[in-house]
Amino acid sequence: MTHPVPNGAFITFEGGEGAGKSTQLRAVAPRLVALGYDVIATREPGGSPGAEALRDLLLFGEHDLSARAEIMAHFAARCDHVDRVIRPAMGEGKIVLCDRFFDSTMAYQGYGRGNGDPALLALIRSLRDLVGLTPDLTILFEVGLETGRKRIAARAAVSDAALPVAGTVDRYESADMAFHTRVAHGFDEIAREESDRFARISSEAADIAAVTDQVVSRIETFLKGR
């Protein structure tokens, strides 16, 4: 028996490269299902057929976009994702767990690529307002840059033939350490500004199950407190 959540719930998983957010989402979703919740797991960029096509362009395309065009492409994918997947699921009382959302655009494009350019940050904020959907809860997975770098390197070492998705490094993962430092600073700034929405969890330790326990506990507390 499932427990519908009135108006649904939208929970995002955020963090830099190698923070383990995707691993945790895959672990947390079945745990919540076992607790009786109706859960869907999705991701960005992507999550709907049209958004997945834009994901390929953004992460693996042969041509770089200008900073503004890249931001707009992320939000175009996001609008389709929200309209076709997230809002309908929430309307059915489901919990939507999403691997990245607009906080990643702010951290990666606004701070990482844009180096905190006020004009780019303002553009992202205006597009965020147009989307009209803010996560109810955001789990921010925090990991040291060196640990994250090692995890990315280990993933990249996996044979593409054996594991084509996990073994493929995208354009953001392959960026230099200065970029990732700016991204980490961006996430920190965002979480400070909207601390009521964020739950910051260290994923530095190798004990994945222990981190999962923390995340499930935090989500349960949030759902029971609504």
Binding residue per annotation — 186?
no
157: its two tokens:
């070492």
88 phi, psi to nearest 5 deg = -60, -40
Helical residues (DSSP H) of the chain, grouped into ranges: 21-34, 49-60, 67-81, 87-91, 102-104, 118-131, 145-156, 177-193, 208-224
User: What's the CA gap between 57 and 53, in Å, rounded?
Assistant: 7
Look up tokens 């997945």; give the residue: 52
- Single out the residue of 207, 189, 215 nearest to residue 32, CA to CA: 215
Binding residue per annotation — 94?
no
Binding residue per annotation — 114?
no
Look up tokens 């890249």; give the residue: 70
Binding residue per annotation — 22?
yes
Binding residue per annotation — 157?
no
Binding residue per annotation — 17?
yes
- Give one DSSP letter per residue of 6-21, joined into a string: TT-EEEEEEESTTS-H
- Single out the residue of 109, 106, 101, 103 nearest to residue 85, CA to CA: 101
| Contact status, residue 107 vs residue 190, Cβ threshold 8 Å | yes
Binding residue per annotation — 116?
no
Q: CA end-to-end span of the chain, whole Å?
A: 20
Binding residue per annotation — 148?
no
Look up tokens 């147009």; give the residue: 130
Q: Which residues are annotated as a binding site for ATP?
A: 15-22
Binding positions are 15-22
